[in-house]
Amino acid sequence: MTLWNGSYPFYPGANACFPFDTTQAVIVTVFLCILVTFIIILPGIPGRGRLFWFLRWVLGLFMGAVILTVQFTRDWETGWVQANTSYKSFSPVQVNVDVGLHIGLAGVNVTLRGNPVTQINETINYNEHFPWSFGVDYEHSYSQGLQKGLPSPILYVAEKFSRQSPCAVHRQYCIAGHYLSLALGLAFCTWLISILLFSMSILLYGGHMLLLTATVILFSLLFFSTVRNTLECPIQFGSASLKTGYGESFWLTLVTGLLCLLLGLAILILNSLQPERLKLVFSLDSSSKEEPWDKSWLPAEPSCSAQGGLMVPLGELCPGTGTQP
pLDDT tens for residues 29-39? 888 898 888 88
In angstroms, how far is CA 239 from the centroid of its own chain? 38
Residue 299: per-residue pLDDT = 52
Share of the chain above pLDDT 90, in %: 30
Q: Give the pLDDT mean for 272-280.
A: 84
Please classify residue 162 by burial: count the beta carbons closer than 10 Å to its beta carbon, then call 0-12 exposed, 13-18 middle and 19+ buried: middle
CA angle 62, 67, 71 (to 5 degrees): 135
What pLDDT does residue 319 have?
Answer: 52
Q: Model confidence over 218-240: pLDDT tens digits?
A: 999 998 888 776 667 788 888 88
Dist CA 267 CA 279 (whole Å): 10
Does residue 306 have a pLDDT over 70? Answer: no
pLDDT band per the 50, 70, 90 thresholds, residue 308:
very low
Q: Region 10-17: what's the mean pLDDT?
A: 45
Phi and psi at 17, nearest 5°, equal 65, 145
The pLDDT, as a whole number, for residue 8 is 37
pLDDT over 60 (residue 320): no
On the question of pLDDT at 324 being above 90, the answer is no
Alpha-carbon distances of 285 from 25, 47, 50, 202, 265, rounded to whole Å: 40, 12, 14, 14, 22
Over residues 282-300, mean pLDDT: 49
pTM: 0.77
Q: How far apart are CA 109 and CA 304, in angstroms?
A: 88
